Amino acid sequence: MPENNREHVSKENFVTAMRRSGSRTLTLERLEADIASGAPVNADGTINILKYIAWVAKEMGDDGQR
């Protein structure tokens, strides 16, 4: 799988990338909680970056908090 594939990123690599990009709140535990709350995940357990970020934006729009 290519390193720049944004459709199939392991949970660990996703959290690492988000933390390096400036996220102060995303942890593996938070990601797992988001998934339990309905965040999209691929059938193989990987994360599609764009779908996850769209889900977070939608959730933020629902109550204005995150």
Domain ranges of the chain: 11-63
For residue 16, which amino acid is it?
T
- Please compute, for residue 24, the number of CA atoms within 13 A of its CA located in the half-sphere on the CB side: 1
6-62 per-position pLDDT tens digit: 899 999 999 999 999 999 999 999 999 999 999 999 999 999 999 999 999 999 886
Q: What pLDDT is attached to residue 45?
A: 95
Q: What pLDDT is attached to residue 2?
A: 46
Distance, in Å, from the CA atom of 45 to the CA atom of 29, rounded to the nearest integer, reads: 15
Q: What pLDDT is attached to residue 21?
A: 93
Q: What is the pTM of this model?
A: 0.80
